[in-house]
Structure 1
Amino acid sequence: MSYQENELTIRPIKDDDLERLWELIFKEESPEWKKWDAPYYELKQISFEEFWEQRATFANPDNRWAIVIAGEVIGTVGYYWEHEPSKWLEMGIVIYDPKYWSGGYGTNVIRLWINHLFHTLPLVRVGYTTWSGNERMIKVGEKLGMKMEARIRKVRYYNGEYYDSIRMGLLREEWEMNQIFHKDR
């Protein structure tokens, strides 16, 4: 299974993708993408061999997929259960390659991923958590009709400054009424 829109594809991660993903995520000590994706959490540089040993947890086809532009892996999109018995799911996206930032790819990926999640899982809501320093991610949610459900003030400390934690969400009935989600039908 995969979803495609123009040159953009989201699909399960393949073993052939792992070397590229390692290069994007773990090869550099301080990759540029980490300044935007929860920079208050440490990222440990690891060897490809270490990454290969962890591949089963990283490349789970059920909950983490590759973001591919014109055949090149540029990021990942995924989800995790905040509380599975109540179907509380959180999703996330990272476009690791900066040349694909601010081009609308993130918005399209999240739209395709929300469609996938609502079509394949019995969910009432989907959402994600970001931080107030990542204004692009907040704008993605707003463009897609998501609501800011929570703003937890000054709980993320980065580079000597406190930031807010931002939780965005979308209900199934809001998704069903919003035609932006149904472009791929």
Structure 2
Amino acid sequence: MAQVSLRKLVDADIKLIETHFQSLDGASESQWFGFWNTNSLRARLAQDQFIGTQDGALSIALGDTTVGKVDWFTSTAWGRANTSACWEIAVGIFADYRGQGIGTQAQRLLIDYLFTHYPRHRIQATTAAQNIAEQRVLDSLGFILEGTVRKSQWRGGAWHDQLLYSLLRDEWQPSTKSQLK
């Protein structure tokens, strides 16, 4: 298998995101929230290439092929935002590339990136209670399950529970080599 890496988003990636994540099959049951305005993606790319002080996104590449994206954003501060904010991460893999370990590798690279380049101490992730695959990924990366956020996500015409996971900087074992392009 070609090597998984992360790189800054480019114009061509936006079209792929539109194509792959604008349907139930493309987004997956756990991440399909209906159609959304993708014009904001182009505006954000022009504004700051998705590298901001409060959030960001990178393309996931398998060799030279874009296969998804990772995101991070400032999440609920567990106190004052200027001292207690944490990152929340998310991953989206195009349907044809799921189940190959790419998401695990991409999230590992994203965690390395965030802990290397930003001083935040906590990264968290939420996943649908029925998304066993992502729960296994988070466990394998060293995240700790903190609990259930009850009926917190509206999707598919119903409220769904989310599981909250966290990873602290001093718990993280960085990769030996970075795969950022």
Report the TM-score, using the length of structure 1 for normalisation.
0.77
- 1:158, CA displacement in angstroms? 5.0
Larger mean Cα displacement after TM superposition, 128-137 or 13-22: 13-22
Shift of the alpha carbon at 1:151? 1.0
CA contact (8 A) 1:150 1:168 kept: yes
**Gapped runs of 5+ residues in structure 1?**
none
Partner AA of 1:148 in structure 2: L
- Aligned-residue identity in percent: 22
CA distance in 1, matches of 2:97, 2:126: 21
Q: What is the DSSP-based 3-state SS (H/G/I as helix, E as strand, rest coil) of the residue aligned with 1:140? A: helix
| Structure 2 unaligned regions, length at least 5 | none
User: In 2, distance between residues paired with 1:112 and 1:50?
Assistant: 26
Matched, 1:34 2:64: no
Q: State how 1:1-185 maps to structure 2 within 5 Å.
A: 6-26=2-22, 29-37=23-31, 39=32, 41-44=33-36, 52-53=42-43, 55-56=45-46, 59-62=49-52, 63-82=56-75, 83=77, 84-85=81-82, 86-95=84-93, 97-156=94-153, 158=155, 163-175=160-172, 178=173, 181-184=174-177
Between the two proteins, the alignment pairs up a number of residues equal to 170
Contact 2:9/2:45 (<8 A) preserved? no
SS at match of 1:11: strand
Give 3-state SS (helix, strand or coil) of 1:110's partner. Answer: helix
Q: Relative to 1, partners in 2 of residues 1:158 and 1:25: Cα closer, same or farther, differing over 3 Å?
A: closer
Q: 1:55 to 1:30 in 2, by over 3 A?
A: farther
The answer to which structure, 1 or 2, has the higher relative contact order (CA under 8 A, 6+ apart) is 2
Judged with a 3 Å threshold, the aligned counterparts in structure 2 of structure 1 residues 183 and 56 are, in CA distance, closer, same or farther, namely same
| Alpha-carbon separation, structure 2, partners of 1:169 and 1:50 | 29
Kept in 1, the 8 Å contact 2:9–2:58? The answer is yes
Q: Tell me the CA shift for residue 90 of structure 1.
A: 0.8
The separation in 2 between residues aligned to 1:64 and 1:19, in whole angstroms, is: 15
CA RMSD in angstroms comes to 2.7
